[in-house]
Amino acid sequence: MSRKLAILTSGGDCAGLNAVMRAAVLRAERFGYEVLGVENGSAGLLEEPPKVRALKSAEFDGFLMRRGGTILGTTNSRDPFRYLMADGSIKDRSEEVISAFKALGVEALIGIGGDGSFDILSRLAKQGGLNFIGIPKTIDNDLDMTDFSVGFDTAVSVATEALDRLQPTAASHDRVMILEVMGRDAGHIALNAGIAGGADVILIPEIPYKIEHVAAKIQNLKDEGRNFALVIVSEAVKSPDGEKLEVVYHGGEKRYGGIGEYLGPKIAAATGSETRVTVLGHVQRGGSPTWNDRLLASALGVRAVDLVKEGRFGRMVAWQNRQVVDVPVEEAIQRCRVVNVEGTLVHTARALGISFGDR
Ligand code: F6P
């Protein structure tokens, strides 16, 4: 009987997921494993029959490794421990997922996800005695114990390019441009793209700010003869008095959104400058992965299968100090890795004269 393993993508998508699967499938085939792809995260196992299909290396050659999204589909809203049923009730369907998974006859499950997905998948693994390996992906880059998660580099590249595109139009019209970027609870995208894209002001949830300080920075630029300013703000930044800016979607799901539009008129009033707001949104998640994300995807995908071969489970593969390592998945999700406000990047930004709106 052939040896089998299963793989799924879970949580919000990002660029590089197909490249991770490609690496895992290529490596698995070398060891003689058959790889089953579970569709739509663990929710695919709740379908009758379960939505599972064989993944073959031939499928990934050519175009797929370059393509954004995930060919398996994913979800960030169908927690099997708190599953929203059609009648509106909430049901614990974890045992159904576990028995559907066991019926696949696989040795292990490789889950490509972020902290929320790893929490769910490792709880399922513990409850059902399943062998689980996690591969970190999230544009937010907020998973602990890995320097980078798949998708972050692409998101930062997209945000940097947005600043590159905003700068000439800002300069042509003497405007302040505000760019709102994603980053649920951590300001890594805003900080990295802000430095790389030459922002004048970077607002992140880790550093409290005041509109007066932001306005003073813009006024200074004007006094020096500059006719435009670029502000990048993370979606998770609150109003100066602590209000969360959120959008409520159909079904009551809340997501961050609105801080750019909140700040626009306030900065305009405080500076007397014409101000425009761009919300980058899901553009940061789609599209072709950067070479960095493809490399990371390849290294992590290979290592995850190596762990299966070695029989080492309950691990998350990670990138630390220029190499792939593996760490206990439960430790990796203990805390959200936010921006280190004493770290090199914040120091670098301040040294370049970028304002965080805090002084
Ligand atoms: O966690 C990834 C992320 O893109 C966050 O940056 C963002 O807040 C959220 O997901 C958006 O979620 P959704 O795709 O459900 O709108």
- What token pair was written down for 263? 């700040």
Residue 245 and residue 170 in one domain: yes
Domain count, the chain: 2
CATH assignment at residue 185: 3.40.50.460
DSSP letter for each residue of 136-199: EB-TT--BTT-S--BTHHHHHHHHHHHHHHHHHHHHHHTEEEEEEE--TT--HHHHHHHHHTT-
Residue 359 placed within a domain: no
Q: Dihedral sign for Cα 261, 267, 272, 278, please.
A: negative
Residue 171 and residue 32 in one domain: no
Residue 218 and residue 141 in one domain: no
Residue 11 and residue 145 in one domain: yes
Residue 121 placed within a domain: yes
- For residue 110, the CA-to-ligand 1 centroid distance in Å is 22
Residue 52 and residue 119 in one domain: yes
CATH assignment at residue 133: 3.40.50.450
Residue 270 and residue 299 in one domain: no
The CB density around residue 182, as the number of other CB atoms within 10 Å, is 25
Pair type for strands 52-55 and 33-38? antiparallel
Nearest CA to ligand 1 atom 13: 12
pLDDT in tens, the chain (359 residues): 579 999 999 999 999 999 999 999 999 999 999 999 999 999 999 999 999 999 999 998 788 989 999 999 999 989 999 999 999 999 999 999 999 999 999 999 999 999 999 999 999 999 999 999 999 999 999 999 999 999 999 999 999 999 999 999 999 999 999 999 999 999 999 999 999 999 999 999 999 999 999 999 999 999 999 999 999 999 999 999 999 999 999 888 999 999 999 999 999 999 999 999 999 999 999 999 999 999 999 999 999 999 999 999 999 999 999 999 999 999 999 999 999 999 999 999 999 999 999 99
- For residue 326, the CA-to-ligand 1 centroid distance in Å is 26
Mutate to test the pocket of ligand 1, among 76, 150, 237, 256 (most ligand atoms within 8 A of CB): 76
Residue 55 placed within a domain: yes
Q: Looking at the annotation, which residues are catalytic?
A: 140
Q: Would you state the torsion angle of the CA atoms of residues 140, 143, 149, 152, taken in this order, to the nearest 10 degrees?
A: 10
Residue 296 and residue 192 in one domain: no
- Nearest-atom index, ligand 1, CA of 77: 15
Asked if 5 and 110 count as a contact pair (C-beta separation under 8 A), the reply is yes
Asked if 173 and 273 count as a contact pair (C-beta separation under 8 A), the reply is no
Asked if 109 and 121 count as a contact pair (C-beta separation under 8 A), the reply is yes
Residues with a CB atom less than 6 Å from ligand 1? 12, 76, 138-140, 182-184, 235, 255-256, 285
Q: Domain residues for 42?
A: 4-150+289-320
